[in-house]
């Protein structure tokens, strides 16, 4: 029984390569649609269950590979540890960098902070779906929840991709 598990390390790096090479076009396709289309055009687009199933399948495989210590040999474990150390720096410093960059380069986000959110939402051509509330405090609360939810979705989507991109960089540098 143990002999069968000892050979699993041979599949770790090819599975990492597979998940990264599958995830990059899937994420770029989804993000590319959001960049070039309005919200109404995206809603009218026919959805592809196959795309979603492949995306979540590959994402679950990435999360599994992140936790699958039994599949890594000593070399892969050493690279994984270095990638985890680098990833920790990203987790700590990336939010500060993004806040500074967004304040410097993105006019809409700057207007959001300057106007307190409500004027920004009113200026959008296609605002996010809001509840029908006459009280501005309800709208602000929903906007805050919507922003936090979207941010968490982005973090959960990109974290495994970023980690394994760092892993692949360290593996490339060592070979």
In order along its 175 residues, the chain shows pLDDT tens digits of 456 656 778 899 999 999 999 988 887 777 777 667 766 676 666 767 887 888 889 999 999 999 999 899 999 999 999 999 999 999 899 888 877 776 676 666 556 555 555 555 555 555 555 555 555 665 666 666 677 777 778 888 888 989 999 999 999 999 8
- Distance, in Å, from the CA atom of 94 to the CA atom of 91, rounded to the nearest integer, reads 6
Domain boundaries, the chain: 2-174
- Distance, in Å, from the CA atom of 168 to the CA atom of 13, rounded to the nearest integer, reads 9
pLDDT at 149: 76
DSSP, res 135: S
Largest CA distance in the chain: 66
* Cβ atoms 45, 37 nearer than 8 A: yes
């Amino acid at each position: 029984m143990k002999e069968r598990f000892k050979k699993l390390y041979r599949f770790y790096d090819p599975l990492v390569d597979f998940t990264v090479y599958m995830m990059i076009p899937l994420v770029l396709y989804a993000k590319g649609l959001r960049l070039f289309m309005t919200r109404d055009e995206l809603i009218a687009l026919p959805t592809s269950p196959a795309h979603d199933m492949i995306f979540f399948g590959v994402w679950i495989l990435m999360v599994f590979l992140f936790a699958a210590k039994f599949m890594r040999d000593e070399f892969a474990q050493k690279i994984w540890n270095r990638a985890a150390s680098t990833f920790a720096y990203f987790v700590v410093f990336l939010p500060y960098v993004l806040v500074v960059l967004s304040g410097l380069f993105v006019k809409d986000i700057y207007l959001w902070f300057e106007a307190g959110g409500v004027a920004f939402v009113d200026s959008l051509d296609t605002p996010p779906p809001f509840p029908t509330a006459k009280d501005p405090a309800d709208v602000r609360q929903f906007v805050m929840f919507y922003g936090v939810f979207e941010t968490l979705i982005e973090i959960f989507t990109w974290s495994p991709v970023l980690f394994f991109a760092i892993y692949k960089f360290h593996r490339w540098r060592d070979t």
